Amino acid sequence: MSFTGRIGLLAPSSNTTVETEFFKVLPAGVTLHTARLPITQVNPNEIGSMVSALEMEAKLLATADVDVIILGATAPSFLKGLGYDREMSKRIEDATGKPATTTSTALIEAMSVLGITRVALGSAFTPAVNNLCANFIEANGIKVVAKDGLNLEDNLQIGRQDVQTAYDLGKKVNCPEAQGVALACTNWKSIDIIERLERDIGKPVLSTSQVSIWGALKKIGYTGSIPGYGRLLRTFGVAQEKAA
């Protein structure tokens, strides 16, 4: 029988991208079920208040008998630094009894299995939020050797950016010291340029939607290869073994 599973996604309320990228990539037999957390502006105040509804929305997802719940939002899972992502997962697990993970957790795990200890960071964020992201990555033992962002705060505006902006910024932040490039913000279209950017720079490229998909699938035991969206998903089985 083919692999089956149900993923519960906690998405930012104004996010118009993450679900479409999940639907594009998920293997046949794995379904997506979504709840939303309130945010319209990507700034520290709204990021912090967004998770006030975490338990309530997670409990609603759990009634769909999902196999895992992922907080599919980058900034709300790194806002308060080292360990904050695990705190968010524990809150979900305690409220629902379901396994949980976050985008930021998946990003760190993905860099680990790909052997990335020095990364170039591109994001849709303002410098203040981008710095929080870089600080979280470095607190987890990975050096951020270059960083830049689109300097956007309005989340609907982020979702309207052309996918080419992700390619262009990823290529801009890449540098000889970087072993890979990370593109941060699940509302920033990026999934369709990962393969092209990897070919052009000769390094792994991680987007936060891509690692969210990988992290959720890993939690439910999927090990198949998913071609077309970067080295991480294409070599899924190998990455699983390294993460075990």
5-104+210-225 folds as Rossmann fold (3.40.50)
Percent of residues, the chain, with pLDDT higher than 90:
89
Domain ranges of the chain: 5-104+210-225, 106-208
Cβ contacts of residue 153 below 8 Å, gap of 6+?
A: 41, 42, 43, 126
What is the reported pLDDT for 241? 47
Say yes or no to pLDDT of 67 above 90.
Answer: yes
Query: How confident is the model over 99-119, as pLDDT tens digits?
Result: 999 999 999 999 999 999 999
The C-alpha angle 7, 10, 16, rounded to 5 degrees, equals 105
Per-residue pLDDT band for 236 (boundaries 50, 70, 90) equals confident
User: How far does CA 146 lie from the centroid of its chain?
Assistant: 19
Average pLDDT rounded to a whole number, residues 79-95: 93
Q: Which of 113, 111, 96, 114 is nearest to 144 (CA)?
A: 111
Per-residue pLDDT band for 238 (boundaries 50, 70, 90) equals low
Evaluate whether 5-104+210-225 and 106-208 have a shared fold: yes
Say yes or no to pLDDT of 239 above 70.
Answer: no
Which class in CATH covers the domain with range 106-208? alpha beta
What is the reported pLDDT for 185? 97
Say yes or no to pLDDT of 46 above 50.
Answer: yes
pTM of the entire predicted model:
0.94
Say yes or no to pLDDT of 82 above 50.
Answer: yes
Say yes or no to pLDDT of 123 above 50.
Answer: yes
